[in-house]
């Protein structure tokens, strides 16, 4: 049996520098040529608008950008193209996503009286426009469309612009997988734009007048993608007046923590479920048992050989890690240092270990909580931070499509109490105009 490409690591033998190296992301995610190509595309679209978008789409997607309207006719045609069980599954997932995000939608807080006559609260409001990038090209990721467009709808975003690369496996670049049409319909979208890569991010950033219509400049960009998409979002958000972005959402990653009682076939299947995503995806196995690692890696080799996307999975496994730890405390340390997009905990006391985790995009607890269930139908969005972003950021929620503003109500009596304090503090900072504005309230 040929061993997999997993790099084996004994965590207890490493110093701080060695641990950092052991948990390094694939270098191709930040390669210099990616940075320069993206900068070139963004600058070109900023200067020439839609013409540049079209040229880059023709060069990279082999097709010009196209708007696919989600009409009743298109929906009916898509539904007829799929088995009824497929359409029922898609609707089931959409319903779960909507239920979860409606239940977790932020609401205005009650007023809090900090001083008699001074009341304040937080008010939540939806952003005006959101650009939704849906990965594609080699697979129709209609699940990502649901995971972005439905939370945006629940939040109340008025303008949602969804873009996705044309289907490279279709007979024509115009062909759209029927599941994408149905997903867009379930999410209440009126159209999908066929365009991908950094040029699509540029169009959402600057706006673009295209043959099929106008794409407006969006206030915030959402969605995962390859290294070029992730870099384009990063550069766009750094521009003066540029859009906000949800998070670093690049190539997928999964860490699986197991003990000696884990089921090797389940752990192996979970690892491969992420490895088949993309050659740049990274999977890590963390275990307290060397024998368990051996069994799981053997099972990975058995299963990968039967995958339709075997070549992609094997390319991903070149960046895989199998980390031996002394105990579950050390396993939690590994997870928190890495900050995985997905974390699967398959140990005897899985729920207890969750209390030790503080850096993960999504945590799947126990043998039955397959990461795949979360990818499609559990409810929370599967759009999650990668590249260690989970150390400071969470995944997409309804709140991601909203902003908060403080609302302050002050009575005359409240001003008399608070104004002298504010005025004194303002003068301590040397801001006399601030102090006088407070004084006028106190003397009213």
Q: What is the pLDDT at residue 441?
A: 92
Q: How far apart are CA 17 and CA 1, in angstroms?
A: 34
- Rounded to an integer, the average pLDDT of 169-173 is 55
pTM of structure: 0.91
Q: What is the pLDDT of residues 287-320, one digit of tens each?
A: 999 999 999 999 999 999 999 999 999 999 999 9
The answer, yes or no, to whether residue 377 has pLDDT greater than 90, is yes
Residue 1 has what pLDDT? 42
Residue 132 belongs to what H/E stretch?
strand 129-133
Summarised one tens digit per residue, pLDDT across range 20-51 is: 999 998 875 555 688 999 999 999 999 999 99
Asked whether the predicted pLDDT for residue 238 surpasses 80, the reply is yes
pLDDT of residue 139: 67
Q: Which residues, in sequence order, are bridge partners of residue 362?
A: 342
Pull the structure tokens for residue 415: 């001003």
* Number of neighbouring beta carbons within 10 Å of residue 44: 17
300 with 354: CB under 8 angstroms?
no
pLDDT at 443 over 70: yes
Residue 103 has pLDDT above 60, yes or no: yes
The residue length of the chain stands at: 444
Catalytic residues: 341-342
| 195, two tokens | 């365009």
Residue 2 binned pLDDT confidence (cut-offs 50, 70, 90): very low
The proportion of the chain whose per-residue pLDDT surpasses 90, expressed as a percent, equals 87
- How many helices and strands (H and E) does the chain possess? 17, 17
Q: For 252-280, what is each residue's pLDDT tens digit?
A: 899 999 999 999 999 999 999 999 988 88
Average pLDDT taken over every residue of the chain:
93
Model pLDDT, residue 227: 82
pLDDT digits (tens, 9 = 90+) for 185-218: 999 999 999 999 999 999 999 999 999 999 999 9
Per-residue pLDDT tens over the stretch 5-15: 899 999 999 99
Q: Is 310 exposed, middle or buried (0-12, 13-18, 19+ CB in 10 A)?
A: middle
Angle between the 32-48 and 197-206 helix axes, to the nearest 10 degrees?
40
Long-range contacts of 378-382 (CB under 8 A, 24+ apart): 378/96, 378/100, 379/96, 379/97, 379/99, 379/100, 379/101, 380/100, 381/97, 381/101, 381/147, 381/148, 381/151, 382/143, 382/144, 382/147
Q: Which has more confidence, 173 or 252?
A: 252
């Amino acid at each position: 049996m040929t061993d997999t490409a997993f790099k084996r690591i004994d965590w207890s033998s490493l110093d701080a520098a060695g641990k950092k190296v052991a948990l390094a992301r694939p270098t191709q995610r930040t390669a210099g040529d990616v940075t320069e190509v993206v900068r070139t595309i963004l600058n070109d679209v900023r200067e020439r608008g839609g013409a540049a978008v079209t040229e880059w789409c023709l060069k990279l997607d082999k097709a010009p950008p196209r708007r696919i309207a989600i009409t009743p006719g298109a929906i009916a045609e898509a539904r007829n193209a799929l088995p009824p069980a497929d359409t029922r599954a898609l609707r089931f997932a959409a319903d779960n996503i909507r239920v979860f995000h409606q239940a977790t939608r932020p609401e205005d807080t009650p007023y809090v009286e900090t001083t008699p006559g001074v009341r304040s609260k937080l008010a939540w409001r939806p952003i005006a426009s959101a650009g939704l990038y849906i990965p594609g090209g080699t697979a129709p990721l209609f699940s990502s469309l649901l995971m972005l467009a439905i939370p945006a709808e629940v939040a109340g975003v008025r303008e949602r612009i969804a873009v996705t690369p044309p289907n490279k496996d279709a007979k024509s670049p115009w062909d759209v997988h029927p599941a994408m049409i149905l997903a867009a319909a379930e999410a209440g979208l009126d159209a999908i734009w066929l365009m991908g890569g950094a040029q699509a991010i540029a169009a959402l950033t600057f706006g673009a007048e295209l043959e099929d219509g106008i794409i407006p400049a969006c206030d915030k960009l959402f969605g995962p993608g390859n290294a070029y998409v992730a870099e384009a979002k990063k550069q766009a958000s750094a521009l003066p007046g540029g859009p906000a972005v949800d998070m670093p959402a690049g190539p997928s990653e999964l860490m699986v923590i197991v003990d000696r009682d884990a089921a090797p076939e389940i752990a192996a299947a979970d690892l491969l479920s992420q490895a088949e995503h993309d050659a740049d995806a990274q999977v890590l196995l963390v275990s307290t048992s060397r024998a368990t690692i051996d069994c799981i890696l053997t099972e990975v080799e058995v299963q990968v050989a039967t995958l339709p996307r075997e070549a992609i999975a094997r390319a991903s496994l070149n960046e895989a890690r199998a980390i031996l730890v002394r105990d579950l405390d050390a396993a939690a340390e590994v997870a928190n240092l890495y900050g995985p997009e997905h974390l699967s905990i398959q140990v005897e006391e899985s729920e207890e270990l969750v209390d030790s985790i503080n850096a993960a995009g999504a945590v799947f607890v126990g043998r039955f909580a397959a990461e795949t269930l979360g990818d499609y139908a559990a409810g929370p969005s599967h759009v999650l931070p990668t590249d260690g972003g989970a150390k400071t950021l969470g995944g997409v929620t309804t709140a991601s499509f909203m902003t908060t503003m403080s609302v302050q109500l002050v009575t005359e009596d409240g001003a008399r109490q608070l104004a002298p304090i504010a005025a004194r503090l303002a003068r301590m900072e040397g801001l006399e105009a601030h102090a006088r504005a407070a004084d006028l309230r106190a003397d009213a």
